[in-house]
Chains A and B, each alone.
Chain A
């Protein structure tokens, strides 16, 4: 503990990029202090979903210290060791059940899952977490979170290029859609991450290749399966002209039943149905294993035809592909953070200008520089035909997994 107190706190301000900063802090082991979290808002401080994420972070680590100020506008976080789902630390039978309450239903489950999956390879032991509860939304949300299917089909496969491929599973136990105000979702997702590494491999991804196939999942929760068929039909109508190898699978499930202690008046059994809706997630894969994804779901208030959603999703996918680069914006954080946590070597990745020139990407680069001390290098790709692409060189930190000196 003595050396931890010696380490100075890294200072940050604002509520934005909170998960990224907490993640970087946990991975690098450096304590942080975030101040001015929504100081002028009518509801100052951390939102329920942010505190819930910190709680999840606390349960997968050992020895973390978290301090809030009275108003919740200042947070001091001293990270612990990433233990995964080790027995005796909140995990029951190797599974850690984390509840997301109804107040957190604004964010999708992917908001918790993507950072969690990033922590998992550096854990001491296998990670097995079940997210459940009234605020667990597996579909895409209006807040901009992708669906759980996108996490599984577009983000988790990317770990393979870092040498992390064994024992990774993401099970959708109960599907749910984004609920309207005051309603609950009630989804359930299980993330199993069984491959822990000492250091991720250095990545060199320079050639984006050409899109060779498109896959997708259409899901309908508590509504007719014909919605799926209609979405698939329209999306395929758009995409088949470009890629003949286009298949979209349909998943129809019932709306999850929620046992709520607070509202037992509606039904005799005290159970109510969760939110209903439908959505589509598409994944395009190129010949060099680059992945582009698109995700659209019906809004909680409804009133959108499946045809519109299918078309919107297909166009969104085409837009993502046209942005270029080997990594799209959804998986940008995952790829760049894994590269930054890799061995002390320069990894390179080719990014589209539009993908890189977003607030998230730029802030991520700045944060990584603050935490690891190594800035990214940028240069435009030399070729004439790819003038829209920029090569980002990332120096790995070379520390990797502290809990796993031999692996």
Chain B
């Protein structure tokens, strides 16, 4: 065939094998020589002693052997063929499953407790924990997105009071940086309170007593006003929550007097203290007893 430009002609497998065989003829001949030698030795050995039952390795060798052993077949019937590995000489098939076995896995602790306890293990219910079906990847991502959106929506609803027109000072849209900062603090406060803070961060810790009193009074007044208006309009409000007054024993200094006030070397007793001292304690006890009965 005339050589053509363009694609090279594809080399077939046979050609390749032929070429490789041709390249190393010596090795093959050597190999066959060795086999012949082995066969000769073997033949000599078998002529002198018992025949060997080596499994034929090569096909060529097997053919030779079958020719050689044709004449010796008569005194060579004792050894069975080794082709069937499962079959031993007396025809009993042996299966060994122990060899092919899986890596050991341990049962769960709860299952062990259930089985090894004193009670007879219950038959009906399966103690094996069923594997939780894993959600598919796309489902997972969609779910996650939904959850995220949900959270954001809830947050927005909670903080929408800050954006309302009624409280323009906290609006984030109006320009000044101070107001924006304020809104941010307010947001943080809301967050913290929703997470379970006891009081707002805007609550001033220390201030003049009169101021605090004023603030409390004002809040109280506002609340009363709201309630009064609601009552007039016939609106039912939430129940008033009364804060319990705590009457604890006042913390006193060590070594101080148990009654009155010690100042400037004199113990001063107030009228209240005097009342507490002079009033007979028996009355109280009597009253208590009476109530109990």
Residues of A within 8 A of B (CB): 152-153, 156-157, 159-160, 168-172, 190, 192, 213, 215, 217, 232-234, 236-238, 240-241, 245, 247, 249, 251, 285, 289, 291, 307, 311
Cα(A170)–Cα(B99), bound, Å: 36
Interface 1/0s, chain B 62-100, versus A by CB < 8 A? Answer: 000000000000000000000000000000000001111
A156-B120, A160-B122, A217-B116 known; A240+B111 contact, CB < 8 A: no
Most B CB contacts (10 A, CB to CB) among A169, A232, A247 go to A247
Q: Is the CB of A233 within 8 A of B122?
A: no
B98 x A311 contact (CB < 8 A): yes
Taking the nearest CB of chain A, how far is it from the CB of B19, in angstroms? Answer: 50
Which residues of A are found within 8 Å of B119, using beta-carbon distances?
168-169
Taking CB atoms, residues of chain B closer than 8 Å to A234 are 98
> Is B116 in contact with A289, judged by CB distance below 8 angstroms?
no
Interface stretch (choices B101-109, B182-190, B229-237, B248-256): B101-109
Asked whether, in the complex, the Cβ of A249 is within 8 Å of the Cβ of B98, the reply is: no
Q: Which residue of A lies closest to B119 (CB)?
A: A169
What's the Cα separation between A9 and B106 when bound, in Å? Answer: 56
22 contacts between A and B (CB under 8 A): A153-B121, A157-B123, A160-B122, A160-B124, A168-B120, A169-B119, A172-B118, A192-B118, A215-B115, A215-B121, A232-B104, A233-B104, A236-B101, A236-B102, A237-B101, A240-B102, A241-B101, A249-B107, A251-B116, A285-B123, A289-B124, A311-B98
Bound-state Cα–Cα, A232 to B118, Å? 21
Q: Quick one: closest B residue to A251, CB to CB?
A: B116
A172 CB contacts on chain B under 8 angstroms: 118
Closest A-B pairs by Cβ, 3 of them: A237-B101, A156-B120, A247-B107
In the complex, are the beta carbons of B121 and A157 less than 8 A apart?
A: yes
Which residue of chain A has its CB nearest to the CB of B105?
A247
On chain B, the residues within 8 Å of A215 by CB distance are 115, 121
**Contact string against A for B residues 169-200, beta-carbon threshold 8 Å, 1 for contact and 0 otherwise:** 00000000000000000000000000000000
Instruction: Please indicate the chain A residues that have their CB under 8 angstroms from the CB of B128 in the complex.
Output: 213, 245
B116–A249 CB distance below 8 A:
yes
A-B CB pair tally, cutoff 8 Å: 67
Given contacts A153-B115, A245-B128, A249-B112, contact A238 B98 (CB under 8 A): yes
Chain A binding surface, main DSSP class = mixed
Instruction: List, in ascending order, chain A residues with CB within 8 A of B123's CB.
Output: 157, 160, 285, 289, 291
Q: Give me 20 other A-B pairs in contact (C-beta within 8 A), A169-B118, A169-B120, A307-B98 excluded.
A: A152-B118, A153-B121, A156-B120, A157-B120, A157-B121, A157-B122, A157-B123, A160-B123, A169-B119, A192-B118, A215-B121, A236-B104, A237-B99, A240-B102, A241-B100, A241-B101, A245-B128, A247-B107, A247-B111, A249-B115
By a CB distance below 8 angstroms, the chain A residues around B98 are 234, 237-238, 307, 311
The 8 A CB mask of B107-137 against A (1 = contact, 0 = none) is: 1000110011011111110101000000000
> Cβ of A291: which chain B residues have Cβ within 8 Å of it?
123
Complex interface: chain A residues within 8 A of B101 (CB): 233, 236-237, 240-241
Contacts of B118 in A (CB 8 A): 152, 169-172, 190, 192
Set B97, B120, B126: member contacting A238, Cβ < 8 A: B97
Q: A190, A232, A240, A251: which has the most chain B beta carbons within 10 Å?
A: A240
Q: Which residues of B lie under 8 Å from residue A217 when comparing CB positions?
A: 115-116
What CA separation (Å) do A285 and B111 show in the bound complex?
A: 15
Q: Report chain A residues within 8 Å CB of B122.
A: 157, 160
**Smallest distance from the beta carbon of A329 to chain B beta carbons, Å?**
19
Chain B: CB-nearest residue to A311 = B98
A217 to B98, CA, bound (A): 19
Among B111, B112, B119, the one with the most A-chain Cβ atoms within 10 Å of its Cβ is: B119
Separation of A289 and B123 alpha carbons in the complex (Å): 6
Q: In the complex, which residues of chain B have a beta carbon less than 8 angstroms from the beta carbon of A152?
A: 118, 120-121
Known contacts A233-B104, A245-B128, A311-B98; A170/B116 CB under 8 A? no
Give the Cβ gap from A139 to chain B, nearest Cβ, in Å: 16
| B107 proximity list for chain A (CB < 8 A) | 247, 249
Q: Which residues of A contact B120 (CB under 8 A)?
A: 152-153, 156-157, 159, 168-170
Nearest B residue (CB) for A156: B120
Which residues of B have CB within 8 Å of A170? 118, 120
In the assembled complex, how far is the CB of residue B92 from the closest CB belonging to chain A, in whole angstroms?
A: 15
Contacts of A307 in B (CB 8 A): 98
**Chain A residue contacts of B102, Cβ below 8 A:** 236, 240
Complex formed: what's the CA distance from A307 to B96 in Å?
13
* Chain B residue nearest in CB terms to A191: B118
Q: A247 to B119, alpha carbons, bound, how many Å? A: 18
Q: Name B124's closest neighbour in chain A (CB-CB).
A: A289
The reply to whether B97 and A241 contact each other, CB–CB distance below 8 Å, is yes
- In the bound complex, residues from chain B placing their C-beta under 8 Å from that of A160 are 122-124
- Give the CA-CA distance A169 to B119 in the complex, in Å: 4
**B106 CB contacts on chain A under 8 angstroms:** 247
Least Cβ–Cβ distance between B173 and chain A, in angstroms? 65
Cα–Cα, bound, A247→B109 (Å): 12
Minimum CB distance partner of B126 in chain A:
A213
A233 to B107, CA, bound (A): 14
Chain A residue nearest in CB terms to B107: A247
Bound-state Cα–Cα, A160 to B123, Å: 9
Interfacial chain B residues near A169, Cβ < 8 Å: 118-120
Q: Nearest CB to that of B106 among chain A residues?
A: A247
Question: Shortest beta-carbon distance, B99 to chain A, in Å?
Answer: 8
Residue interface bits B196-210, CB-to-A below 8 A is 1, else 0: 000000000000000
**B99: which A residues are within 8 A, CB to CB?**
237
Docked complex Cα distance between A247 and B104 (Å):
9
Q: Of residues 228 to 248 in B, which have CB atoms within 8 Å of A's CB atoms? A: none
Cα distance, A133 to B126, chains bound together (Å): 37
Give the chain A neighbours of B124 by CB distance below 8 A.
Answer: 160, 289
A238 to B99, CA, bound (A): 9
Nearest A residue to B108, CB-CB = A247
Return chain B residues, CB-CB under 8 Å to A236.
101-102, 104
Q: Tell me the complex Cα distance, A157–B123, Å.
A: 7
